[in-house]
A and B are shown apart, each in its own frame.
Chain A
Amino acid sequence: METSVDQRGGVIAVHISGSVDGLTAEDLQRVFSGEVGAGHHDLVADFGEVDYMSSAGLRVLLATLKQTRSLGGDLRLAGPHPEVRKVLDLSGFTSILKIFDTVDDAVASFG
């Protein structure tokens, strides 16, 4: 898994590629926590290049979702492949996480 970050106004987009699983989820958590620790509470996770995500990734998303919302922000998802979207659906995450087709849409949703 690789990540890169760019800032778009007050929103941080975290671009993720590869697999978010038991080996890599901790690294992703560190990226999210680093951004939140730096005062960035509106985050977009760009899943356009994520080929699969396991429960370890779901735990990171949930922890970050709770953390950002407790600070008045949010974590929103952009561009997950249908296979990854199915995992989100099977896990009940589509009811608690806002998901957009593109990063631009997700960033714009913060208004």
Chain B
Amino acid sequence: MHDEDRLPIPPGAHGAARPDGRCARRDAPARRPMSTSRRIVRPARIEHLPELVEFAAQGVRESGADAQALHDIRLAVSEVCANIVEHGYAGEPRGSIAIETTATAGRLVVRIEDDAPVFDPAVVPLPDTESDAEHRQPGHLGWHLVYRVMDEVRHEPRGDRGNVVILAKRIGPASAPAPGTG
């Protein structure tokens, strides 16, 4: 039993994806580009992480993206959702996470919404990636990876409380086969 309407998408919040015009030809202004959107809402509990990640992954597979894009989007969605559960709601029992994927030719956009206190990931410090093993500190790797594997990462507050994180990635045209790989 899931409350599919708990996190409505605010008007105008689709601006980041700019799903129109990527493939549109200048001489065909009336043509509507093909795109597909899917949405899921689940309680913000860690046991729902696989389902949320798999939902995003399905959007990647349907878009025909390559293994690297599939991996990167799974990773990014996993990191963002785990952060929402662990730090955003910080143990609050009733929070939700909504994910919407929108695929158009050559680009996948994932919107992740929560009702947790506003948190801008841009303020997260850079991780320690250079110390030797003995002195290496493990913090801040999650958002670092999200920013590194996605082409676009954007945060929007949802009023006084709640966040929208928009992740976008170019997805290859059925991917050029790499030598020695299946």
Contacts and interface: CB of A to CB of B under 8 A. Distances in A.
Given A52-B78, A58-B141, A19 B71 contact: no
Interface size class on chain A is: 20 to 34
A9 interface: no
A76 to B, nearest CB: 12
Given A65-B133, A69-B134, A83-B72, A91 B141 contact: yes
A53 B47 CA distance: 16
B75 A52 contact: yes
Contact of B46 (A22, A91, A96): A22
A55 B137 CA distance: 12
A83 B68 contact: yes
A62 B82 contact: no
Given A59-B138, A96-B133, A52 B74 contact: yes
A92 B75 contact: no
A35 to B, nearest CB: 19
A91 B78 contact: no
B41 interface: no
A51 B53 CA distance: 12
Main secondary structure of the interface of B (DSSP, over half): helix
B130 A23 contact: no
State the majority secondary structure of interface residues on A.
helix
Interface in B106-155: 127-130, 132-134, 136, 138, 141-142, 144-145, 148-149
Given A22-B86, A69-B134, A83 B67 contact: yes
B92 to A, nearest CB: 17
Contact of B149 (A56, A65, A90): A90
Contacts of A65: 133
A56 B129 CA distance: 15
B60 interface: no
B65 interface: no
A23 B46 contact: yes
B46 A59 contact: no
A54 B82 contact: yes
Contacts of B71: 51-52, 81, 83-84, 86
Nearest to B149: A90
A62 B136 contact: yes
Q: Which 5 pairs of residues, A with B, have the shortest CB-CB distance? A: A92-B129, A22-B82, A83-B71, A55-B141, A55-B142
8 contacts: A52-B71, A55-B138, A82-B68, A86-B71, A86-B149, A90-B148, A91-B127, A96-B132
Given A23-B46, A23-B49, A55-B142, 6 more contacts: A22-B78, A22-B86, A54-B82, A55-B138, A58-B138, A83-B71
